[in-house]
């Protein structure tokens, strides 16, 4: 499916909106989440418009998985020292972008996975922090 101008996910994935990109290839764009659960929280979005996982073509699905592996390695290598990596995507009515996206999040002992879905506003993240994290991740992804 072609990108659409009225889809925020399409605009983000194709860099028509401001993002802190850490990696991209022909199929996906990876960037820091604007409201991160933990530092380094990254979103993977296909450049073409897809709503749910069952709509993905093989090339895009493979690119998403390759990107999730790369981002996971980068997050483990950086100073975050996560106890694990949480990878998830929300479909149907839980897809707040109305565009397929995958979350790759460094996770730590003592954190309850359900906290990921709380509606509490954690406040604005400093742009300098986004740029600092982005620069380190780009260095490691090689893109």
The pLDDT of residue 2: 77
The pLDDT of residue 101: 97
First to last CA, the chain: 25
Query: Looking at domain 8-141, which of 3.40.50.2000, 3.30.428.10, 3.90.1150.10, 3.40.50.970 is its CATH number?
Result: 3.30.428.10
pLDDT averaged per 10 residues in sequence order, the chain, 143 residues: 84 95 97 90 97 97 98 87 91 89 92 64 60 80 72
The pLDDT of residue 117: 60
Q: Which of 105, 114, 112 is nearest to 35 (CA)?
A: 105
The pLDDT of residue 74: 94
Query: Within 10 Å of residue 129's Cβ, how many Cβ atoms?
Result: 13
Hey, where are the domains in the chain? 8-141
The pLDDT of residue 119: 56
**Phi, psi angle pair for 93, to nearest 5°:** -70, -10
The pLDDT of residue 21: 96
State pTM to two decimals. 0.84
The pLDDT of residue 5: 79
Q: Which of helix, strand or coil describes residue 86? A: strand
Token pair listed for 55? 């709509």
d(CA 117, CA 115): 5
């Amino acid at each position: 499916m072609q990108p659409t101008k009225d889809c925020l996910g399409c605009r983000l994935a194709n860099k028509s909106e401001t993002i802190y990109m850490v990696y991209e290839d022909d199929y996906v764009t990876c960037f820091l989440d604007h409201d991160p659960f933990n530092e380094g929280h990254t979103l993977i979005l296909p450049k073409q418009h897809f709503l749910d996982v069952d709509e993905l073509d093989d090339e895009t699905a493979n690119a998403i998985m390759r990107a999730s592996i790369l981002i996971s390695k980068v997050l483990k290598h950086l100073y975050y020292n996560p106890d694990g990596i949480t990878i998830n995507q929300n479909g149907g009515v839980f897809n707040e972008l109305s565009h397929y996206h995958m979350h790759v999040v460094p996770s730590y002992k003592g954190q309850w996975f359900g906290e990921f879905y709380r509606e509490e506003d954690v406040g604005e993240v400093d742009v300098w922090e986004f740029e600092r994290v982005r620069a380190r991740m780009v260095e490691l992804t090689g893109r």
